[in-house]
Structure 1
C-alpha cells in the first residue's frame, strides 16, 4: 500500500544526513523464492514493525504490489517535501514489467538498472528503454564477464587485441603509464553507448584504473572494435567461447646457419616445431609471453632463447645468429 511504501521511504530519507541528491530505485518488482539468496517470508518478518503496520505484505500480491510502490515514488518525486529526490527508477525489471510500468506511470522512470546479461541478451528490453528515454545502468560487469576469462580464452584474447590496438592509438610504451587492459575495454564499450556502470570493487587500484577519468582517457572504439568487443562479451556471458582465436605473428629468420625451432609448453616441456634452413624463415602464430628456443642444427649447445614480447595482433621479426 502507499502507506507502507512511504513509511519505508521516509526512513531512508531520515537516515541520510548528507546534502546529496537522491536517486530512488525500486530494486525488484517482487520477491522471487527461486532466487537462492531470497526468502520472501523471512524478509517480511525482518521488516521493522512500523513498516509492517503501513499495509499488507507485498509478497501476497506479487503482480501488483510493485505498482503501489512506484506510485509512492512518484508522489515523493513530485512532492515539494522531498526536494532532494533527483530521479526515480527501477532495477531488475523484465520487458513485461517495464512495459506495464511505462503504460501506468505518471512519471516515466528515469533509469533502469539491469544485469549486463540482460543488456546483451534482451534486445527488446533495451529497445523499450530507448523508446521511453530510460537511462540504462548495468551491474555485474566484472563478476559476470571478467571472472570467466580463463574458461573462454579465445573471447578474452579478442578483448586483449582491442586493448592493444587502443594502446597503440595512444602511443603507450610497453610497461609504461596509460596501460589499457580488458576491463577498461569492457567499460569503454559500455560508456560509449551512453550506458553507466555500477562499480563494486573496494580495491584502490581498480577504483583508479576503472574510474570515470581513466575510462575517459581511453580512445573511442571503432565500429570494428565495438563489434569485436560485443561478440567477445556475449560469448563469455553465455558460456560459448569464440570459435577462432587471435595470436601474435612471429617470424624467425635463420641468417647464417641451419636451425631447429623449439617451443616450451606451460609445463616446461620442449617440443621441436620445425627446421629452418640457412637464409629461410618460419612463421609461428603464438601468444604473448610464450617461449621459444632456436638451436644450431648440428650443435645443440649453441642456442638462443626468445620470449614473445608482442601482444595480440602484433607481428614480431626475430633474426637469429648463432
Structure 2
C-alpha cells in the first residue's frame, strides 16, 4: 500500500445502530485500527461514541487510527461537499479524516441536513411515487471541492468508490491532487483484475469491499443462498490445507493480490479471526480461487436503484 492504511479494515455498513458503539469498541480491542465508515450507513454518531470510548480508555490514540468516510450522492455540488464532510467529522468526534471518498459517481439533488440525514437515495420518501432525482453536477466539480478539503486540513487523503476504468482515466486527466484510493466491490466472483491493474498503474491503492462476496447481501435479498463463496471447492481445499476457515482464505486472497479489505462482523471471535491472516496461499491456490470469477456484481445500482428506489440508474453498463 502506498498509504499508511492498515490492509485489513473494519467495515461499518449494516451494523445496527444499537450495536455500533459496542461493536466498534470490541473491534479496537481485537486489534483493528482502520475503520471504514460513510454518512449513508447512518451510524457515524454511534461509531464516534465507540471510538471516543476506546481513546478515553487508553486502548488507542487518534494517531494510531485510520478513519475513512464517504461523501454521499446528495452532497456532490461544490457548495455542499465541506458541509457533508464536517457533519461526518462531528458525528465521529474527530478533527480530520485519514481518507475521504466519493461514495458513488452519482450526483443526486441536494437534501439539507436539517430536512433528512442521512438523505439516502430518494428525494422525497413521502411522495406518492418516491424516486431519485439526478443533479447536474459534473464529477470534476465534486473532485475540486474534495481537493479543497485537503487544502483546509479536514482530510489527509481523497479518493473514489465505485468508479469504472473510464471514470478513473477521466479523473486522472484533471485531478490536481491525485486520488489515493479506489474502493470497489471485489471477491473471487468479481475479480476486477483489469480495473485493479489500471489503478495500480496510476499509483492508486485499491480497497475491496464485500471481500467475502455474497455474505453481505443475503439479508438484503441481493444474493441467492447458492452464491456463497464459503463452500466453493478451491476455497475449501485451501482452507483444509492451511488449517484456516474458508472466510480467512477469501480474506487472505484479497490481501495477497494487493488490495486492502474491509470485512464486517459484530462477533468478537470473528473479528479476531478476520485479522488472523498471517499465512501464504500458493500461486496454484491463488489462481484456482481467481478462476471462480463470474463477473458477478452484488452491489449494482443498475439493479437495486430500480427495484428499491423507482429509478433506473446503471453506472457499469
TM-score by length of 1: 0.54
- The 8 Å contact of residues 136 and 196 in structure 1, kept in 2 or not, is answered as yes
- The equivalent residue for 1:228 is 288
- The equivalent residue for 2:248 is 184
Tell me if 1:12 matches 2:95.
Answer: no
Which of structure 1's runs of 4+ aligned residues deviate more than 4 A? 49-52, 145-155, 235-239
Tell me if 1:67 matches 2:137.
Answer: no
1:42-81 Cα distance to aligned partner (Å, 9 max, x none): xx446446999xxxx993215x1x32221111111133x4
- The equivalent residue for 1:90 is 160
1:242-301 Cα distance to aligned partner (Å, 9 max, x none): xxxxxxxxxxxxxxxxxxxxxxxxxxxxxxxxxxxxxxxxxxxxxxxxxxxxxxxxxxxx
Q: Classify 1:182/1:133 alpha carbon distance in 2 versus 1 (closer, same or farther; 3 Å).
A: same
Match of 2:277 among 215, 219, 236: 215
Residue aligned with 1:59, SS: coil
- The equivalent residue for 1:299 is none
TM-superposed CA distance for 1:15, in Å, is: 3.3
Distance in 1, Cα, partners of 2:280 & 2:240: 13
TM-superposed CA distance for 1:145, in Å, is: 6.1
- The 8 Å contact of residues 28 and 93 in structure 1, kept in 2 or not, is answered as yes
RMSD: 3.5
**Larger CA Rg, structure 1 vs 2:** 1
1:120-159 → structure 2 map (5 Å cutoff): 120-144=190-214, 150=226, 156-159=232-235
- The 8 Å contact of residues 92 and 113 in structure 1, kept in 2 or not, is answered as yes
1:115-168 Cα distance to aligned partner (Å, 9 max, x none): 11699454332222011111111112234269767457997122111111123x
Q: RCO greater where, 1 or 2, for CA within 8 Å and sep 6 or more?
A: 2
1:194-252 Cα distance to aligned partner (Å, 9 max, x none): 211112211222111112xx112xx21111111112123x259489xxxxxxxxxxxxx
Distance in 2, Cα, partners of 1:18 & 1:11: 11
Match of 1:25 among 94, 101, 121: 101
- The equivalent residue for 2:181 is 111
- The 8 Å contact of residues 186 and 211 in structure 2, kept in 1 or not, is answered as yes
Distance in 2, Cα, partners of 1:198 & 1:25: 15
- Gaps (5+ residues) in structure 1? 32-39, 168-179, 240-322
TM-score by length of 2: 0.55
Q: Classify 1:58/1:22 alpha carbon distance in 2 versus 1 (closer, same or farther; 3 Å).
A: farther
Pairs aligned (count):
203
Residue aligned with 2:277, SS: helix
TM-superposed CA distance for 1:87, in Å, is: 1.1
Tell me if 1:163 matches 2:239.
Answer: yes
Distance in 2, Cα, partners of 1:118 & 1:86: 31
Distance in 2, Cα, partners of 1:137 & 1:154: 21
Distance in 2, Cα, partners of 1:129 & 1:20: 25
- The 8 Å contact of residues 111 and 135 in structure 1, kept in 2 or not, is answered as yes
